[in-house]
Amino acid sequence: MNNNFLVFSGRASRYLAEKICANLGCPLGNLLIQTFADGEFGVSFEESIRGKYVFLVQSTFPSSDNLMELLLMIDAAKRASAAQIAAVIPYFGWARQDRKDKPRVAIGAKLVADLLSTAGINRLITMDLHADQIQGFFDCPVDHLYASSVLMPYIANEVGLDNLVIASPDAGGSKRAFAYSKYFNVPMVMCDKHRDKPNSIGEMFLIGDVAGKDVVLVDDMVDTAGTITKAADLIMHMGARSVRACASHCVMSGPASERVDNSMLKEIVFTDSIPYRGSSPKVKTITISNLFAETIRRVMNNEPISSQFLI
């Protein structure tokens, strides 16, 4: 492998960057982040990166300090004469703001893409964007990875395929659920929801038959867990034998953990793109460090990454 690269991390994703470096067999780069009394912070690389391919690991989940920290890391790397700068963003925040869905609103995902590009990235490595078209907001190469490569083996091993049904908690996730059901060659069902307002669900209906089945709900992220838990309870009331959930990003804000605990979900499985800070016994985490480490290895060796995709 080409060793002319270095991996650095912001504070939010250091736990994941350390695992990535362990898989790559390299040390995590020495980056200093200094916070001032008023809350402002600055970053500095404590080793030479001149002429190196630099990978900066930082998810941009709230607070917005995580995004600002990444922008400062990119700018510092550019000014320190790094040859190439790759932003490794397992969870790309603001991705739900990918279009104008009503008058006089911002397109947050495009704004963040512009900020990253202006700061100076040459490549983006991310996973399970909320909307695939966000890749088009960038003029640099985007390696869009999928959590299915770690979630699908878990489903096959823990749930089995004999009695499996894949479910989507809403119409927006039907494409993802169909891909899972096609891969496993099992039926798919869908929940149809109607929102009263953001993070609030009015009515929900089930399209399809789940009687006597082991159902797995698949989604890209779980925020307040209102949709996923209501879908799970509906599925169980429609006669399912068991219901689990798998999601890429563990946002889990506000009452999410309590809702999961009080729901009929047997378990909910996330990747570690975002650290889970709650304490629900139903929440399990699978690491994506192998996935990102192998992608970095392939980028440095100029090898295709398509072979990593199950779907």
Which residues are designated catalytic?
Answer: 193
Helix (H, G, I), strand (E, B) or coil at 87: strand
CA pseudo-torsion sign 301, 306, 310, 311:
positive
Tokens of 163: 């009695």
Whether 112 and 91 have beta carbons less than 8 Å apart is answered as no
Report helix angle 14-24 to 289-300, nearest 10: 60
Whether 16 and 57 have beta carbons less than 8 Å apart is answered as yes
Other CB atoms within 10 A of residue 123 CB: 17
Instruction: Report the distance separating Cα 228 and Cα 265, nearest Å.
Output: 9
Whether 228 and 262 have beta carbons less than 8 Å apart is answered as no
Letter for the amino acid at 23?
N
Other CB atoms within 10 A of residue 21 CB: 22
Helix (H, G, I), strand (E, B) or coil at 59: coil
Helix (H, G, I), strand (E, B) or coil at 218: strand
Length of the chain in terms of residues written: 311
Which residues, including other chains, have CB under 8 Å from residue 97's CB and lie 6 or more apart? Answer: 105, 106, 107, 108, 109
Instruction: Report the distance separating Cα 70 and Cα 185, nearest Å.
Output: 41
Whether 232 and 245 have beta carbons less than 8 Å apart is answered as yes
